Chain A
């Protein structure tokens, strides 16, 4: 697991840390069940605040990519499709970046998304596998 963060980047540090883990899960460098280093260790290692790292880890948990358990630390989720989920989260971020570049408002962007969702049939067999 390689973490790279730059304080000069406009992206918040916590987001940068989350992006490192997300990328590693997406390209298979971090496998399901792999234990991530403790937030305290990452913070000490990178020279950033421990809350910054925790913010990044919490973001990943909200995306369903890692599990945070007291005492066990952060573990890449063993649920099927972790790599696909990570790629999806990366894709969404790329879309948002494009929307921002075009100057779309949040509402305009969400309307686009809703429109796309509405015309795409949800496959019946995916309903059971919902996470």
Chain B
């Protein structure tokens, strides 16, 4: 099987997009990359800029190599061998006050189907 894509759609409260992006780059992206996730792109809506009256939806597309890579990501461990899920959960819980909603989808390419 070819790469598996992971799409995060995060609706950030009005006025919080810059802070969320900064936290994401500092605290989430490096650990995701350590888990074998490759960044495939980032998008925002509304486009181009934030509007203080409106929430901003941020889209982060990641990928992992295959199903085995997906499970390595899912069952990752910290450097000292502990289950990393508690660290992951802490990140999502700590940033939740900046958000209104979020969704994570796992995708496969239609073009890669047998």
Partners in one complex: no
Interface positions of B (Cβ within 8 A of A): none
